[in-house]
Chains A and B, each alone.
Chain A
Amino acid sequence: MLSINNIEVVFDGTILVLKGVTLAAHEGKITALLGANGAGKTTTLKAISGLLAAERGAVTAGSIELDGTRLDRMAPHDIVAGGVAQVFEGRRVFDGLSVEENLLVGAHTRTNLTRIRASMEEVFSYFPILKERRGQAAGYLSGGEQQMLVIGRALMSDPQVILFDEPSLGLAPLIVENIFRIIGRLRDEGKHTILLVEQNAALALAIADHAYVMETGRIALEGPAAELRQNPEIRESYLGLNDAGARRSYRDVKRNRRRQRWLA
């Protein structure tokens, strides 16, 4: 189980971005982390994968643990070796490297070449198109293929936990559907623990087992995904639906927002 216990994240020594975030991602489940722009979702993922230091940020309080091992004092490559892989937002492939080389970089923390080969075959079984394009430069792949490559690269480290940052961003609906089907398979067949950050709440709640909603650096709501799908606030703010299932006017949503701010 990946657990985040009441962490605070500060950038540049002064800017408090996460103000006490607690969440748990259970084994073999998909946990969704929802929220608007700037709520702190990506920062939470970077805190887990140890990538804050490069942006002059730091976890100043609380702890992050994977099955009892503290991750929040470890270097990024040790965290990857420890079983946590991150799929970056925005399809960050290594442009000039071939598909195969991109995947090999994902296996950098591993040494056993036969097991690395096996992982690569596994990736190709999830994404057959990558096998066809294995010799091609990653920069020339389509957006969907690049997203698949980035997911494949994360799989190459043989991770226990996979962190997804906005896998639907900027992709055509059909491709998004395909990607989310794969994410479901990674849970069901690969037995991976998945923490999924998404702005598309409907999509995330449809696939997730459990979900958290973040607002301005805090967890505002939490519950089983099935429950949150029925939650009236979520339906209004994130799914754009009212109780009858029809769209509401923006004025009502705005009033609701004001009310939430007041309550917060």
Chain B
Amino acid sequence: MRAAPIATLNATAAASAGWPEAGGGHRFVAYFIWLVVYGALAGAIYALVALTFVIVYKASRTMNFATGEWVMFGALLTSSGLHGFNLAGAGLAGLLGAILIAALAMAAFATALSRVVLRHMTGRSLMAMIMLTLGLGTLMRGFGPIIFKGRANAIVSPIESDYIEILGLVLPPERLLSAVVATLCIAAVGCFYQYTRTGLALRAIAADPAAASGAGVDVTGHITLSWALAGIVAVVAGVLWSIVSGGGIGTALVGMKVFPIVVIGGLNSIPGCILGAMVIGVADSLASGYLDRLVGSGVSIVVSSLLLLAALWLRPWGLFGERVATRV
């Protein structure tokens, strides 16, 4: 079961969608377009996953190396709620109810973590925080199977899963739906940052925490809020990922996508995180569409790692992650 949720998405889905081997002429072009669209749909979910990382980084300069595990917990909490409370039969309302329960649980977990553990870390080195989140990720991955043992972890799409055709492209509807929900979710978070006073305070903290504190912003409170928000976004991301790729403990592997994305887009930029996710999503899809059959499956993981290296080499501050607006 090596990295199944990530690598198999595009290739197997392509096969099951009934796409023939790439032929010549217009079929070749159509196949290429299909791969790009398919990758972009995955990219939208990747962007949501990366957003959980960016939210925390913006507020506290803390790199959450446990992002994949957070997403996994979000997914497992939702599926446990769904099956534990017998909500699975209630269709969309049941799913939304389970998501709500999981979001509350995750926000509570994040708040507790921020209040109890992280507040003692103010003024400590970046490395100490990185080790802490790495350790947390390991703990979550270890305890995940114990806590959620024996519970069904499937989350079924609320839409009847039949293939639909848009502009001549055959696409699985649950994937389309997931991408739309992810996009709406990112837009909502973006609007929250741009148009609310709390969002404004969060942007001020991202720019200069000490000055924000001096201007009357409760910095520790807002950092806690960011963790909670990241927890809620992780639940949504986990659910969407489970819908398109099956769910379970393997969901944590989606965290591997976060670093290429945020390094390409810039650690603290929401537009950058969307763009980085699109690059990774499309590159994945193209790689598995064209290269998997030549060199065996799993190439997409290598490709995103190569992109990560290239980004570190060429633009280590990311595409949008520049120190903004410095007068020269």
- B204 located at the interface, meaning its Cβ lies under 8 Å from any Cβ of chain A in the complex: yes
Closest to B328 in A: A140
Contact yes or no, A105 B123, CB < 8 A: no
Cα A101 to Cα B211 with chains together (Å): 14
Pick from A81, A95, A106, A157: contact of B207, CB under 8 Å: A95
Pick from A85, A94, A139, A157: contact of B204, CB under 8 Å: A94
Closest to B220 in A: A75
Contact yes or no, B210 A54, CB < 8 A: yes
CB distance from A116 to the nearest CB of B (A): 10
CB distance from A261 to the nearest CB of B (A): 33
Pick from A77, A109, A140: contact of B325, CB under 8 Å: A140
CB distance from B169 to the nearest CB of A (A): 38
Cα A91 to Cα B275 with chains together (Å): 33
Say yes or no: A137-B213 contact (C-beta < 8 A), given A104-B197, A108-B201: no
Contact yes or no, B204 A97, CB < 8 A: yes
- B21 located at the interface, meaning its Cβ lies under 8 Å from any Cβ of chain A in the complex: no
Contact yes or no, B213 A108, CB < 8 A: no
- A230 located at the interface, meaning its Cβ lies under 8 Å from any Cβ of chain B in the complex: no
Provide the residues of chain A in CB contact with B214, threshold 8 Å. 49, 51, 76, 80, 85-86, 88, 92
- B16 located at the interface, meaning its Cβ lies under 8 Å from any Cβ of chain A in the complex: no
Cα A49 to Cα B214 with chains together (Å): 7
Pick from A54, A77, A81, A140: contact of B122, CB under 8 Å: A54
Apart from A108-B197, A154-B215, 13 more pairs, CB < 8 Å? A55-B123, A77-B216, A88-B211, A94-B203, A95-B325, A95-B326, A96-B207, A101-B204, A105-B200, A105-B201, A108-B201, A108-B215, A139-B326
Provide the residues of chain B in CB contact with A94, threshold 8 Å. 203-204, 207-208, 211-212
Contact yes or no, A142 B211, CB < 8 A: no
Chosen A-B contacts, 21 in total, with CB atoms closer than 8 Å, are A51-B210, A51-B213, A77-B213, A77-B216, A77-B217, A80-B214, A85-B216, A86-B214, A92-B211, A93-B211, A94-B203, A96-B207, A96-B324, A96-B325, A105-B204, A105-B215, A106-B215, A108-B200, A137-B324, A137-B325, A138-B325
Provide the residues of chain A in CB contact with B197, threshold 8 Å. 104, 108
Cα A240 to Cα B212 with chains together (Å): 38
Provide the residues of chain A in CB contact with B324, threshold 8 Å. 95-96, 137, 139
- B323 located at the interface, meaning its Cβ lies under 8 Å from any Cβ of chain A in the complex: yes
- B149 located at the interface, meaning its Cβ lies under 8 Å from any Cβ of chain A in the complex: no
Count chain A residues whose beta carbon lies closer than 8 angstroms to a beta carbon of B: 36
Pick from A81, A141, A153: contact of B327, CB under 8 Å: A141
Provide the residues of chain B in CB contact with A138, threshold 8 Å. 325
Range class of the B interface residue count: 20 to 34
Provide the residues of chain A in CB contact with B201, threshold 8 Å. 105, 108
Binding site for A on B (CB under 8 A): 122-123, 197, 200-201, 203-204, 207-219, 323-327
Pick from A53, A80, A88, A139: contact of B216, CB under 8 Å: A80
Contact yes or no, A80 B215, CB < 8 A: yes
Q: In the complex, which of the residues B211, B218, B326 has the most CB atoms of chain A within 10 Å of its own CB atom?
A: B211
Contact with B along A99-112 (1 / 0, CB 8 A): 00110111011000
CB distance from B193 to the nearest CB of A (A): 11
Say yes or no: A157-B216 contact (C-beta < 8 A), given A94-B211, A104-B197: yes
Contact yes or no, B210 A106, CB < 8 A: no
Contact with B along A117-158 (1 / 0, CB 8 A): 000000000000000000001111110000000000110010
Q: In the complex, which of the residues B123, B211, B213, B214 has the most CB atoms of chain A within 10 Å of its own CB atom?
A: B214
Cα A140 to Cα B208 with chains together (Å): 16
Cα A139 to Cα B214 with chains together (Å): 19
Pick from A49, A75, A96: contact of B203, CB under 8 Å: A96
Closest to A157 in B: B216
CB distance from B224 to the nearest CB of A (A): 13
CB distance from A176 to the nearest CB of B (A): 19
Cα A137 to Cα B218 with chains together (Å): 23
Contact yes or no, A54 B326, CB < 8 A: no
Closest to A79 in B: B216
CB distance from A42 to the nearest CB of B (A): 12
Contact with B along A48-89 (1 / 0, CB 8 A): 010101111000000000000000000111001100011010
Contact yes or no, B200 A76, CB < 8 A: no
Say yes or no: A139-B211 contact (C-beta < 8 A), given A77-B217, A94-B203: no
Contact yes or no, A108 B217, CB < 8 A: yes
Say yes or no: A157-B123 contact (C-beta < 8 A), given A94-B204, A95-B207: no
Cα A101 to Cα B325 with chains together (Å): 15
